[in-house]
């Protein structure tokens, strides 16, 4: 299933994409796409005849596909080509940082560059959403706790991230710095999370062209690893790292400025498009 949320910010309604790609309103069936739905039995949704549900008019805003994101954990430098361009060593264990859930926005919302920001950067990633509580889980068992995956732009203000005395969080948490969606693709029709191509463009020029097959730590290992340090709960979100092709470390590529348009795509998971605006 491809679950999503439509409507004005803060008043989104649950929806589902039908087999033709038409979004259909689910609000008569479920309250929201939220941790309670993920934790509960949403197999019932799979048996719905979605073609009978009301179609959502085109042009309606798409929100993030999950409300009430719980913990928001990110993996840094999870692709060797990105570690190389950032001139940082290949990590021996996953690098963790936490991101504020208030950074989450819709996939096509404007991205607000904070005052004085000079080094804002894009990062197309596979986002993983937890569906079942787990602790100390094995790698073999890990994927049973994943509700689904989606596209993420893990925007980063590099000066705040790297030149302001630590930690990385300062450059990652700005409002609108985590466009999510357009939809949550549920685990029951999950694409192989280790064979998703990831691409990004800035003002139409290709920037990133990678694949999750090149992750240093695959998704099952990330879930296992995180569960050694914290309880993972339904609605928790994991950004799993970005491949090469960002502005950091590439002197011929400009950081983002107001007016720039960033597009991002993950195979089978849809496409995002954001315009940069100045705070």
Interaction site with Zn ion (CB under 5 A): 123, 154, 242
What are the distances in angstroms from CA 34 to CA 59, 78, 167, 233?
23, 28, 29, 12
Pick 109 or 154: Cβ nearer Zn ion: 154
Element (H, E) at 10: none
Q: How far apart are CA 124 and CA 199, in angstroms?
A: 7
Cβ 25 to Zn ion shortest distance, Å: 33
Cβ 158 to Zn ion shortest distance, Å: 12
In angstroms, how far is CA 201 from the centroid of its own chain? 16
Cβ 239 to Zn ion shortest distance, Å: 5
Q: What is the separation, in whole angstroms, between the first and last Cα of the chain? A: 36
Pick 42 or 168: Cβ nearer Zn ion: 168
Cβ 160 to Zn ion shortest distance, Å: 14
Cβ 188 to Zn ion shortest distance, Å: 27
* Tokens found for residue 152: 């993420």
Q: Smallest Cα–Cα separation from 203: which of 146, 96, 275?
A: 275
Q: How far apart are CA 91 and CA 93, in angstroms?
A: 5
CB 62 within 8 A of CB 6: yes
Pick 33 or 117: Cβ nearer Zn ion: 117
Pick 3 or 128: Cβ nearer Zn ion: 128
Handedness of CA 209, 212, 217, 219 (dihedral sign): positive
Pick 23 or 238: Cβ nearer Zn ion: 238
Chain length of the chain: 279
91 CB-near residues (< 8 Å, 6+ apart): 76, 77, 78, 83, 216
Cβ 88 to Zn ion shortest distance, Å: 13
CB 126 within 8 A of CB 193: yes
Cβ 53 to Zn ion shortest distance, Å: 35
What are the distances in angstroms from CA 106 to CA 7, 100, 132, 147?
10, 15, 24, 19
Instruction: Output the residue with the shortest Cβ distance to Zn ion.
Output: 154
Pick 227 or 242: Cβ nearer Zn ion: 242
Pick 13 or 119: Cβ nearer Zn ion: 119
């Amino acid at each position: 299933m491809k679950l999503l949320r439509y409507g004005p910010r803060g008043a989104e309604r649950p929806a589902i994409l039908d087999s033709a790609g038409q979004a259909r309103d689910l609000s008569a069936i479920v309250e929201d796409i939220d941790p309670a739905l993920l934790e509960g039995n949403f197999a019932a949704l799979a048996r719905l005849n979605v073609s009978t549900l009301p179609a959502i008019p085109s042009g309606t805003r798409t929100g993030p596909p999950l409300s009430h994101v719980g913990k928001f954990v990110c993996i840094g430098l999870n692709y060797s080509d990105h570690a190389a361009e950032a001139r940082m060593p290949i990590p021996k264990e996953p690098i963790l940082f936490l991101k504020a859930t208030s950074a989450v926005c819709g996939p096509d919302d404007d991205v607000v560059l904070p005052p004085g920001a000079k080094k804002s950067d894009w990062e197309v990633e596979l986002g993983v959403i937890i569906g079942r509580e787990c602790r100390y889980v094995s790698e073999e068992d890990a994927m049973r706790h994943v509700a689904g995956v989606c596209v993420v732009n893990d925007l980063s203000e590099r000066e705040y991230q790297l030149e302001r005395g630590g930690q990385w969080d300062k450059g990652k948490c700005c409002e609108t710095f985590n466009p999510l969606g357009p939809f949550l693709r549920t685990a029951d029709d999950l694409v192989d999370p280790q064979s998703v191509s990831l691409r990004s463009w800035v003002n139409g020029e290709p920037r990133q062209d990678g694949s999750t097959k090149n992750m240093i730590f695959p998704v099952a290992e990330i879930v296992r690893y995180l569960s050694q340090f914290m309880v993972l709960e339904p609605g928790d979100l994991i950004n799993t790292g970005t491949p090469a092709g960002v502005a950091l470390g590439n002197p011929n590529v400009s950081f983002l400025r107001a007016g720039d348009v960033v597009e991002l795509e993950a195979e089978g998971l849809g496409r995002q498009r954001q315009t940069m605006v100045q705070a």
